[in-house]
């Protein structure tokens, strides 16, 4: 690369000394803060995995019961609707 450019690029962290428009920083947004209602898993859970397949963020892991990643869960409520066993209920978030 040309010297003048190299110097310039150093000032631009996002370019990382490279020529072009690109990004390599994979970054999460903590979308859990968006949530107005929170899905709560109850004892009806059969660990069938349907909710985990349809969660748009794929944020539900099948452990002893369905385990929801609340750090990212936006609270859309799809899991409640797709659960055949009424094992997930949306509960309004407290203040």
What is the contact surface with another protein in residues (CB under 8 A)? 1-2, 4-5, 8-9, 11-15, 17-32, 34, 52-59, 61, 69, 71-72, 74-78, 80-82, 90
Could you tell me the smallest distance in angstroms from the CB atom of residue 44 to another protein? 18
Q: Closest by alpha carbon to 62, among 72, 70, 53?
A: 53
Closer of 44 and 57 to another protein (Cβ): 57
- Residue 90's SS3 state is strand
Tokens of 43: 């004892």
Of the two residues 47 and 78, which places its CB atom closer to another protein in the complex? 78
Query: Which residue is associated with the tokens 């609707």?
Result: 81
- CA atoms of 75 and 90, how far apart (whole Å): 8
In angstroms, give the least distance from the CB of 94 to another protein.
19
């Amino acid at each position: 690369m040309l010297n003048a450019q190299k110097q310039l690029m150093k000032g631009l962290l996002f370019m990382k000394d490279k020529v072009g428009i690109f990004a390599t920083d994979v970054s999460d947004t903590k979308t859990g803060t968006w949530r107005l209602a929170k899905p709560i898993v109850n004892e009806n859970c059969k660990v069938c995995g349907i909710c985990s397949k349809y969660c748009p963020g794929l944020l539900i892991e099948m452990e002893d019961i369905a385990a929801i990643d609340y750090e990212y869960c936006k609270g859309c409520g799809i899991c409640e609707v797709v659960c055949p066993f009424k094992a997930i209920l949306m509960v309004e978030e407290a203040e």
